[in-house]
Structure 1
């Protein structure tokens, strides 16, 4: 029988302190060589255990085997120089030192397939695997070769499609593309961003998702959110086109957010991953607070299409806080499931 309101996380979960420095983005590994491989696998087991104990239905790797949700994928591609770094502004918000595109980008070998295959051996639950979306990838690089964001995005889309097909082949049930850039570059999203995303999912039989959030709880993102006014209506610019797209699930941010809930009406018919956990605070939600967000969302999305989730990844949080938030998600969903079954 299909699970009602299946829960999942949007992306990263904190790594154990013996693997990488806690509460830090882009944290370097503390292990190397064979020890690092074993350590990553141990971290996968632990993150899976945390999800199981919290009652998460669609589990993930918690991004335990990667340093960053975008650059770890790019590191494995040809045509990108990580030594020749340039400073660019990421999503019009903050400066970062990023690698340079110096030639045609290609994927010589699988990136996450072995990790996904290992995770598949650990669980019988559905697995969700996150990949960076084409537009967010180009926004995390300096392009000294293509001189065209769109051309580079199409090449990334082809590479992502190769990776996604191999992930599907080893048993991944949902492939999610992370596109926080969709909340910033509206014209490009509608001109070619969604089209490149559809190229990335071409030929897949598993479920596909796009995750569009307002970012981790880091200062640059919080400062940006403070400029957005009383209502955050960015989704309004892109939802109509996404509603017509081939993507199955759309992941959005709702908890402690100024996103008007009725914007979900614009993607009526799609499955919606409703962010019911705020990742920008250490305060652990009560199950009732989680339930309240889900009740509001149910006014605009049918129960069989509602997938409770977190707003974004939780890598910058402590493991204790992240566990508490996972447990709150699971408990809050149970409240609403009972209400719906009456």
Structure 2
């Protein structure tokens, strides 16, 4: 899908992940008409990336001066809600980075606002655009694996104290809304529920095993999710393991077990059937200055969103579609720390 001629965009929040939005906007030929950041260092960085574009100290100043077709919101988690609400109220289309919000209460506010506006909202759950994810979704819909019996997923990466000290909000409940689960593993949780259905039950625990002297939030978690099934009584289960305590980044893994074979996502899609057949699909590769584990599909999502601005239907990954993964991880927090507000 190509972007409409004359489409314009702006970026609010010019931290690390904004880089892939700058790259995608440039690659797709979308006109960037403004950037904004309340942090002077972030705004200075944006002006280095786009020296000929107007810069503003807030999203309100940007809106007062320019009217882009789409605003990309790439701020820290706790800043998502008010900015997105203001933009939607002004009738401006929004692409917002994940998570939907740092709290469930704030997330519900965005869902409500998105249902009462003509503006369109897309949430960056861009891993749904990965070649492997798209192909596996089709395999499941076509029944190639037979009846699904269960699944496994893992996100085992590394972090250092410097990662949190450079951006302290990453390690604070009030700002980030969590740690590993909401910041690193959310895409994997989203894919699990997209493939298997939103869980009907969650059992999990989170912990801070390595970075307790640096952060408030968790760096590790395990969980079992029960997904609806028309074949297995009581539903099928998926097991999740996540940690930021490893020495190196391991590939993100998702395995789905069926009565006819197994599908594995790990640096591409690998299908192994019980009759001896095998299929492998390489992942999309796009050169980027961003981190490799962000994946390669921001550009695909951004192109799709801009290309659907004239559609009558809401964008297919909106606020409501971003809620299940947020509910999953917040339930793990609720079970781990039942006497606090971390699960809200």
TM-score grouping bracket, smaller chain normalisation: under 0.3
TM-score scaled to structure 1, two decimals? 0.28
TM-score of the superposition, structure 2-length normalised?
Answer: 0.28
The structure whose Rg is larger is 2
More helix by share: 1
- Quick check: which one's strand share is greater? 2
